Structure 1
Amino acid sequence: MFEYVLTFLIFFIWWIVYYRAKKTCLPQPKEHLLKHLNKLRFWLWPAMIMTGLKFAAGAVLWNADWAFVEDKAFIQWPLYALSISAVFFFSLPVLTSRKLSELHAKLNDGSNGYLNNRILVASFSAAFYAAACSCLYMLFLSQSPLRFSSFITIWIAFGILMGTAWVSRRRQFKELQHSLNMDHRVTYKQRLIRFSWKCLLVIAITSIMVSAGLISSRLPDRMSMMDHGRHDSSGSPGNHSHHGSHAEASSISAENIESISVASLRGPQTLKPDRTFELSAQKKLLTMPSGETEEVWAFNGLVPGPELRIQEGELVEVTLVNIDVEDGVTIHWHGINVPNGEDGVAGLTQNAVMPGEQHIYRFIAEQTGTYWYHSHQQSSVQVAKGLYGTLVIEPDDATVLEDVDLTVMAHPKGTSNGTTITLGATGKLQRQTVKPGKTVRLRLINAHNMPKMFYLSGASFKVTSIDGVDLNGPEWIQNQKMLLAAGGRYDISFAMPDHAVSLTHSADAINERSEAIVIAGNDRDQPLPGREGPVFNPAKYGTPSSVPFDADTVYDRNFTLVLDNRVGFYNGMMTNVQTINGYVFPNTPSLMVREGDIVKMKFVNRGFMDHPMHLHGHHILVLKRNGEPVEGSPWWTDTLNVAPGETYEAAFEADNPGLWMDHCHNLDHAAAGMSMHLMYEGVYTPYEIGSATVNKHE
């Protein structure tokens, strides 16, 4: 962020320098000329120093990862270096030369003078235009890997600006000489006409470019999710000893792999289910905690939807009924590695369920832990409207359960379903009564688009699982705040003390209207305010244990995903687009794998917003965070929050064939282009998305 802001400050300061340099070339009284020269010298040094800071900041970023500076090294740095060199060689000698002193001596008080030196202005204009091109690049073209088209566009633009400036200054100097010789000056009216023509030209060019961008960015009316972007294999499958029988399978060519539809990758269809649920999606007027009435879209009339509790190993059947949601709905089982055909992504694994229709999901609960479900038809809209709920899979070994098991969902509505505890703008303090000595498990779920901080005050606790996967050897900690990714889950456990315990989003004092949950032996006790402590770090928590792959593993596929943001056009709108490797959906790359591949992924966040990356159908093992290996318990996750400036390396086994979404779970970011797919060879989808279908773009 510092380097980003610095780029715009450099542009502003070099504009001042350029402006002052132009002023010295106009006939004016001696005192005015000296004033402009002094101000030119004054602003020149901050401009030079800040440009030097730009290079220093780039060096720091380079040390973190090459992806942070790749485009800067080929575009911004050469632009600055070229222009600064011109200032050193051509402008500084003039500003400190004996001729300039002689000019001062010749000018009498009240006489006119000016610097007749186009080179002086040209070098400052080069620095200004270099700063301008750097800003334009960062705003509209920022990307990694760098594309040649962007590289050549910026350098051509810089050349055109410099050529135009040189011709313009040459004409102005000729007019100036002519006016001095003929005692004739360009009138104010003439200057105004010229300025107006320039403005009209800029407006015309800008209008054409904006119109072209808006039109070309519109998403297709109908398209297959398979037909987008570049199919990135990033390394061909090979004969690696850690695969065993996969070595032979890897030698089979992609053409010989039998094609299979996602529609056939379903859960058991003929067996009798152990647990059945029906979820009805409908519109409803709901009274918010503020007292206002709001239309929500709800499952079974509740926001969150009903809490689903099932046991490990059970065959689950969920019937989704759409009563009156015109846009259609689906259900995605967030974090549960269901068969691909049960994943609930409209246009990829099924058609959206339209009003009056129903769809049956079936899967075996092979995992345990805390999960949630939500609609994946235009999820940025439908989740915000209320189509989400919690899901808990309890282990079949009941001896490991705590005495008290509570699910806590942080979500923006502040409403409750009567079972799940809401942590948010409920308008009143939430209370739970638990006797001292009892063991308590809190299942924390973040249904917001942004990371949320959780404070547990009044008791030591353990973080027992992340995203449904138990940690090895969790340790007792206290006063550590937990930053939970959007879509992520933490399970924490503690023994109930003889005083009140609180769970909040801040360490502020608690009153009866706080956004907090108080757990106590009665309904009166108030906890003490929480204390600010360090942020819980999963990479250094728990006890190490064996993992299926690590830094020494030879991986079949290696993918790098560079996350960024810039101003651009998306689906007919000008917005802050969210990019992966410089592209937005549907031009983002598709990650191609083969069943059995061991895949390594590297995430680099070049932007200034958090990106909780969520891969459907798989859990990934975090290997490194900011270049440092994970030292504690194996850290498995399905929603990895990549903060600005952070890098992660993670790995997984491609063991769940299908076509899977991989997207930012800030759902507004997914809707602005930060979405892609993991595609298994030989798998196809018969479904399509677009305005001409029932399936909507994210």
Structure 2
Amino acid sequence: MKGKLKLFLAVGAISVIVAGCANANSQNGMKGTDQPKMNMGDSQQNTSQNKEQSGDMKLTQATPVADGKEFTITAQASNLKVSDDVTLPVWTFNNSVPGPQIRVKVGDTVKVKLKNELEEPVSIHWHGYPVPNNMDGIPGVTQDAVAAGKEFTYEFKATVPGTYWYHSHQDSVNQLDKGLYGTLIVEDPSESYDRDYTIVLDEWMSSGEMDMSNNEDMEGMDHSQMDMGDTSNNEDMQGMDHSQMDMGNTSNNEDMEGMDHSQMDMGDTSNMTEMAGHDMSMYDVYTMNGKTGDAIDKLTVKKGDKVRIRLVNAGYITHTIHLHGHEFKVIASDGQPVNSPAVITDQGIAIAPGERYDLEFTANNPGSWLLEEHGKEDRVKNMRAVIEYEGVPDRPDASNANEELPTFDLTKYGQQARTNFSLDQKFDQDVKLDLNTEMKAGEMVYTINGKLFPDTDPIKVDKGDKVKVTFVNNSKTDDHPMHLHGHFFQVLSKNGKPLEGTPVIKDTLNVKPGEEYVVAFEADNPGDWMFHCHDLHHASAGMVTDVMYNGYNSNYTPDPTVGNKPE
């Protein structure tokens, strides 16, 4: 089953994460807790109820905020109540979707024990966080996936504050889709907010005929043993996973995108325009923290509050979010602070897969307002949270999701400052990554410099190297949100023009069709690191390379019996 085919998933669930807003007498001096915290410790789970059969599964609980230094995260099957009348089978961390928010402080040594009560192996990747290489959670690269009934402890030092997240990287195109993700917040001791909310964005498919619990044999498959017959006119087929598939005559497949037809024989499919495989319009239910529309929990504020909203995109579609009724600042991107952020209003914040944006505003306009996605499609209307002032009747302002708004441009925002890199300096490595969508051996794939992972050319570096990377997106219609593990990079130019505003430091950068970006990073974290598109359909279809440190010796040897699937 293809990762984004969240079959039977109608509406997402689980409470808005009230992220670490401790009360007035808490250690960090923050106030405004709207949800009880819990230290996950080493709590026991009732494994007898964690069956994949929907009748035996638990019902997911509200997403907890887990603070401290040591945590237990249990991967388990469950039921997700996505609305009053729909309950769906999912995979969870600690019986919630999203999984528990892990909230720590700069300087903490973080220990997270992953226990696997699923029947499939899993892992945890700390998206955006510069953990040691052996803690990166990449099956077959840095560790074996954690098999059913087994456990693994991740340990790293919290050195960089900001908004991050975690997810399974075992067969991630599928497991992330099933609900195996959560957020990681590293608190900066110099910051304090009255309200601090985290909102995880995702999208689901509300219809389908396949129960994902019975599709283990169709997940994470490669593109081998596939016969697609005549594919003479497949230029626009995108991101498809057609393992062991005989499609006969597919001479007119312009509109087939990203379909997963493992082991299918489709015979004569000379006109495939009616089949919308990777047509992302099929994902018709948009969620905030797993809930949709009126089911989304309100964001409660009171007049005078200083409010932070952390937006995390755990899906595969870019979502453009608008805050109604208030001026606000964009204070961070991918956890990294923006220099001298300006006050803005009525701009849409486009958040690509894997990206994070943090907003800050003062609650100075009592009423009931919306934080919502903007767009003209019906599905965007469900991605909206009410910002409700205490003591004010619940009558939110009308949605204006269809209104044309300027899109926020981080490359022209804030003020310039001294940086580690510039376009005119000398680099130790100068790499070009041509990102493209191609037909190879009768299937649609996503390539880097014309090659597919694992045959892409790794970026080989020495520790201390300063590396310049040029992204060029030659795909006709696909965005490619490129994510580098273990490092931050600085964006130097866009389409040949140097950035005008704040230094932009990121770990995930969305490169749209026809765009060119130049970025730079320092090779300061030895290991073997993945560098890939975070539309995981694209990664699983080839758009992956590695940053490999010369002389790095890992003591890890993959176990061939585990079934490691790094993408």
Structure-1-length-normalised TM-score: 0.57
Q: What is the Cα deviation at residue 549 of structure 1? A: 1.2
SS for the counterpart of 1:384 is coil
C-alpha separation in 1, matches of 2:515 and 2:204: 30
Summarize deviations over 1:410-446 as a string: whole Å, max 9, x none. Answer: 023599xxxx962763553542221122111000000
Instruction: Name the stretch that deviates more: 426-435 or 356-365.
Output: 426-435
Residue 299 of structure 1 aligns with which residue? Answer: 93
User: In structure 2, which of residues 145, 151, 155 is the aligned counterpart of residue 352 of structure 1?
Assistant: 145
CA distance in 2, matches of 1:623, 1:586: 28
- Answering whether residue 304 of structure 2 is matched by residue 437 of structure 1, we say yes
1:498 aligns to what SS in structure 2? coil
More strand by share: 2
Cα distance between partner residues in 2 of 1:526 and 1:406: 19
Matched, 1:679 2:470: no
- Tell me the distance in 2 between the aligned counterparts of 1:449 and 1:514: 17
Counterpart position of 1:283: 77
Structure 2 Cα separation of the partners of residues 508 and 500 of structure 1? 23
The residue aligned with 2:128 is 335
Query: Which residue of the partner structure matches residue 50 of structure 2?
Result: none
Is 1:529 paired with 2:426? no
CA contact (8 A) 1:508 1:529 kept: no
Farther-moved stretch of structure 1 (519-528 vs 541-550): 519-528
Cα distance in 2 between the residues matched to 1:485 and 1:309: 23
Partner of 2:565: 696
Aligned equivalent of 2:194: 403
Q: Residue in 2 aligned with 1:318?
A: 112
Any residues of structure 2 matched to 1:599-678 within 5 Å, and which?
Answer: 599-607=467-475, 608-678=477-547
What is the CA-CA distance between 1:614 and the residue it aligns to?
A: 0.2
Q: Deviations over 1:601-626 (max 9, x none)?
A: 00000002000000000010000011
Q: Is the 8 A contact 2:77 2:118 kept in 1?
A: yes
SS at match of 2:122: coil
Equivalent residue number for residue 481 of structure 1 = 348
In structure 2, how many angstroms separate the alpha carbons of the residues matched to 1:386 and 1:296? Answer: 6
Structure 1 residue 376 displacement after superposition:
0.6
| Change over 3 Å in CA distance of 1:510–1:310 after alignment to 2 | farther
Contact 1:622 1:636 in 2 (8 A): yes
Q: Deviations over 1:558-600 (max 9, x none)?
A: 000000002234xxxx532000000111111100000000000
Aligned to 2:171: 378
Question: What's the counterpart of residue 82 of structure 1?
Answer: none
- What does residue 248 of structure 2 align with? none
Counterpart of 1:469, as a letter, is Q
**C-alpha distance in structure 2 between counterparts of 1:346 and 1:683, whole Å:** 18
Matching residue's letter, 2:305: K
CA contact (8 A) 1:427 1:515 kept: no
For 1:566, give the aligned amino acid. Answer: E
State the match for 1:446 in structure 2: 313
Aligned equivalents of 2:351 and 2:432: distance in 1?
24
Q: Is the 8 A contact 2:347 2:407 kept in 1?
A: yes
Q: Would the aligned equivalents of 2:144 and 2:559 in 1 still touch at CA under 8 Å? A: no
2:186 to 393, 396, 407: 393
Structure 1: how far apart are the matches of 2:559 and 2:456?
A: 17
CA apart distance, 1:289? 2.7
Instruction: Report the counterpart of residue 255 of structure 1 in structure 2.
Output: none
Deviations 1:127-151 (A, max 9, x none): xxxxxxxxxxxxxxxxxxxxxxxxx
Query: What SS does the aligned partner of 1:494 have?
Result: strand
Query: What TM-score do the two structures reach when normalised by structure 2?
Result: 0.69
2:366 counterpart residue number:
498
The one-letter code of the counterpart of 2:113 is T
Residue identity in the other structure for 1:583 = K
Aligned residues between the structures: 414
Q: Could you say if the C-alpha distance between residues 685 and 565 of structure 1 is closer, same or farther in structure 2, counting changes exceeding 3 Å? A: farther
Instruction: Give runs of aligned pairs for residues 2-41 of structure 1, distance below 5 A.
Output: none
* Equivalent position amino acid for 1:308 in 2: I
Contact between 1:424 and 1:516, CA under 8 Å: does it hold in 2? no
Assess, with a 3 A threshold, how the Cα gap between structure 1 residues 665 and 508 changes in structure 2: closer, same or farther: closer
Matched, 1:538 2:329: no
Counterpart residue type for residue 537 of structure 1: D
CA distance in 2, matches of 1:485, 1:612: 7
Q: What is the aligned partner in structure 1 of residue 385 from structure 2?
A: 517
Rounded Cα–Cα distance in structure 2 between residues aligned with 1:507 and 1:457: 15
Q: Distance in 2 between matches of 1:690 and 1:675?
A: 22
> Partners of 1:342 and 1:606 in 2: how far apart?
34
Residue 350 of structure 1 and its aligned partner are, at CA, apart by 0.5
Match of 1:457 in 2: 324
Q: How does 1:61-460 map to 2 (within 5 A)?
A: 275-289=69-83, 291-326=85-120, 328-397=121-190, 400-412=191-203, 422=289, 425=292, 428-460=295-327
The 3-state SS of whatever aligns with 1:683 is coil
Letter in 1 for 2:318: P
Task: Work out which of the residue numbers 337, 348, 353 in structure 2 matches 1:470.
Answer: 337
What is the CA deviation profile of residues 472-498 of structure 1, one whole-angstrom value per residue up to 9, with x for unaligned ones?
A: 000001111011110000000011122
Segments of 4+ moved more than 4 angstroms: 507-511, 685-693
Contact kept? 2:368, 2:394, Cα under 8 Å: no
Q: Secondary structure at the match of 1:595?
A: coil
- In 2, the alpha carbon distance for the partners of 1:510 and 1:440 equals 29
Instruction: Classify 1:463/1:584 alpha carbon distance in 2 versus 1 (closer, same or farther; 3 Å).
Output: same
RMSD: 2.4
CA contact (8 A) 2:197 2:299 kept: no
- Aligned equivalent of 2:421, options 538, 549, 558: 549
Structure 2 portions without partners, runs of 5+ = 1-66, 207-286
Q: CA contact under 8 A between 2:202 and 2:288: conserved in structure 1? A: no
Match of 2:284 in 1: none
- Would you say the 8 A contact 1:450–1:610 is kept in 2? no
Higher mean alpha-carbon deviation, 406-415 vs 666-675, is at 406-415
> 2: CA distance between counterparts of 1:596 and 1:302?
41
One-letter code aligned to 1:506: H
Q: Distance in 1 between matches of 2:463 and 2:75?
A: 35
Contact kept in structure 1, 2:288 and 2:384, CA below 8 Å: no
- Conserved in 1, the CA contact under 8 Å of 2:145 and 2:564? yes
- Which is worse superposed, 426-435 or 365-374? 426-435
Aligned to 1:40: none
Larger helix proportion of the pair: 1
- Supply the distance in 1 between the matched residues of 2:119 and 2:322 (Cα, whole angstroms): 37
Q: Quick one: percent identity of the two aligned structures?
A: 42
Q: Within 2, Cα distance between the matches of 1:466 and 1:532?
A: 23
Distance 1:507 1:603, change over 3 A: closer
Q: Closer, same or farther in 2 for the Cα pair 1:430/1:523, shift >3 Å?
A: farther
